[in-house]
Amino acid sequence: MGLLDAKEYDPRPRQRAIRIILLAVVAIIVGLVSYFLFRYQPEKNVINAFFDAIQTKNFEKAYGIYQADRDWKQHPQKYGTYTYNQFNLDWGPQGDYGIITTHEVECAVEP
């Protein structure tokens, strides 16, 4: 086989490789942007659930969210340092913040 007998150049494998590389780069960029936009979403959901319970005056549910224990009524002695009555005084209508009617999470950062 001589130099002039070589196969004709086929650009399709190179184009396919470029497309795969570009697709991988785009997927990585989308993944990183999604991670940075939604990395604190679980925490934001808990905060929203807490303030929704406060807004609807369901202080027992809010206290359970605050203590991260839905069954806090089964063992209230476990939370002797910050009791439900103290929580109700702090977050209730006569609390430091007054009656909470709206809330919005503007920012979430690493402590």
Q: What is the pLDDT along the chain (111 residues), one digit of tens a residue?
A: 666 777 887 889 999 999 999 999 999 999 999 999 999 999 999 999 999 999 999 999 999 999 999 999 998 888 889 999 999 999 988 888 788 889 998 888 877
Q: Is the separation of the CB atoms in 62 and 53 below 8 Å?
A: yes
CB burial of 63-75 (b: ≥16 within 10 Å; e: otherwise) equals bbbbeeeeebeee
Interacting residues of 91 by C-beta distance below 8 A, sequence separation 6+: 54, 59, 62, 97, 100
- Residue 32 three-state SS: helix
Q: Is the pTM value of this prediction over 0.85?
A: no
Distance CA 59, CA 10 (A): 71
